[in-house]
Chain A
Amino acid sequence: EAGVAQSPRYKIIEKRQSVAFWCNPISGHATLYWYQQILGQGPKLLIQFQNNGVVDDSQLPKDRFSAERLKGVDSTLKIQPAKLEDSAVYLCASSLGTPNYEQYFGPGTRLTVT
């Protein structure tokens, strides 16, 4: 089966610019997650969707980050305006959405803000 797809794989922008990331989860997976992984650390959850509704966005910096999941499938994560500290890998994951199921991760987008 096809895995979680993400694009772009790499992005370099200047601070105060905007950027968007795209994710296509595994078919049939109801739950979709966006994580931020800073170099040397573990992934940190930014937002979790169940179908097209937000379950948890408590760690999403809402003044600059936004995310949507239209029609309960694909999702986009946007940063506007970007700051230097947003440099990280942004990972998308999906799961069947019931307890005790593993998450499947995409390859990530490496963002560098200069």
Chain B
Amino acid sequence: SQQGEEDPQALSIQEGENATMNCSYKTSINNLQWYRQNSGRGLVHLILIRSNEREKHSGRLRVTLDTSKKSSSLLITASRAADTASYFCATGAGSYQLTFGKGTKLSVIP
């Protein structure tokens, strides 16, 4: 079963703009992770935020986590054409398993 649900399903922006994707989930988690998938590099881990953290940064990525609302957001600043990919949130809860959502398809237009 898929716990995380990304929103929007698809997003199209101009190069240089910021992209925001949201993820909602249903049950308690240990951590929430964001992954990127494109045809060239497969599924790649971007960032992990633990349940006791509220915000985390990595380069042009900023992730927030609100456990009271069971939601997370991924912000990509100053987007590039190379950011075109599908982005998945994955929730971790016990036994090191991850449950993935259906993803947001991001298109960055040069």
Q: Which of B14-22, B60-68, B70-78, B91-99 contacts A (4 or more CB under 8 A)?
A: B91-99
Residues in B neighbouring A105, C-beta threshold 8 A: 35, 42-44
Count of interface residues, chain A, beta-carbon cutoff 8 Å = 28
Q: Which residue of chain B is the closest to A4 with respect to CB atoms?
A: B42
**A55-B95 in contact given A99-B30, A102-B33 (Cβ < 8 Å):** yes
A97 to B96, CA, bound (A): 6
Interfacial chain B residues near A42, Cβ < 8 Å = 2, 4, 88, 90, 100-103
Q: Is the interface of B mostly helix, strand, loop or mixed?
A: strand
CA distance A103 to B42 in the complex (A): 13
Which residues of chain B are near A107, meaning CB under 8 Å? Answer: 42
Residues of A within 8 A of B102 (CB): 40-42
Q: Are B42 and A106 in contact (CB under 8 A)?
A: yes
Contact partners of B103 in chain A: CB under 8 A: 41-42
Number of A-B contacts (CB under 8 A): 64
**Mask of B28-54 contacts with A, CB within 8 angstroms, 1/0:** 001101010000001111001010000
Which residues of the partner chain A approach B100 to less than 8 Å between Cβ atoms? 35, 42-44
Q: How far is the CA of A99 from the CA of B2 in the complex (A)?
A: 20
- The smallest C-beta distance from A98 to any residue of chain B, in angstroms, reads 7
Smallest Cβ distance from A106 to chain B, in angstroms? 7
Interface residues of A in 30-68 (CB under 8 A from B): 31, 33, 35, 40-45, 48, 50, 55-56
